Amino acid sequence: MSRQTVNSSHATAVGSYSHATWAGDLLFCSGQTPINPSSGRLADGGIADQTRQCFDKLFQVLEAAGLGGDDVVSVNVYLTDMSDFSHMNRVYATRFSAPYPSRTTIGCSSLQLGARIEISLTAQRQS
């Protein structure tokens, strides 16, 4: 099987991976942290700004694949501090319309470059 991948110049890969990989009609988007693609540094601001940066990059990957937010079926959110949940959730609610995609939020001890959040998602191409 040949692997079909999607990459966007608006997202960063800190390691050896593609921004997204197709498996049939499903697009699996790698986790994005709030690293500014231009500077290679974390986005300025608090958890709300970091959440927006993650979603901005993920939606650029979706756009590069010809998809959008309404095609997202599942989201995984990784937080280094679960007390950031409500701030993340407010930003999350602005990026999707009801009915919302499935979501799992996971607390973790640390993320790349000291990020407070990482988000990955899965989208489905409509037939």
Query: pLDDT per residue over 100-126, tens digit each?
Result: 999 999 999 999 889 999 999 999 998
What Rg, from alpha-carbon coordinates, does the chain have? 14
Q: What is the mean pLDDT of residues 4-27?
A: 87
Q: At residue 1, does pLDDT exceed 70?
A: no
Whether residue 68 is predicted with pLDDT greater than 80 in this model: the reply is yes
pTM of the model: 0.94
pLDDT at 48 over 80: yes
Say which CATH number the domain at 100 has: 3.30.1330.40
Residue written as token pair 């700004």: 49
Round to the nearest angstrom and report the end-to-end CA distance of the chain. 22
State the average pLDDT for the chain: 93
Task: Name the domain count of the chain.
Answer: 1
Domain of residue 105 covers 4-124
What is the per-residue pLDDT across 70-108, written as a single tens digit (0 to 9) for each?
999 999 999 999 999 999 999 999 999 999 999 999 999
pLDDT value at residue 38: 82
Check residue 59 and give its pLDDT.
Answer: 97
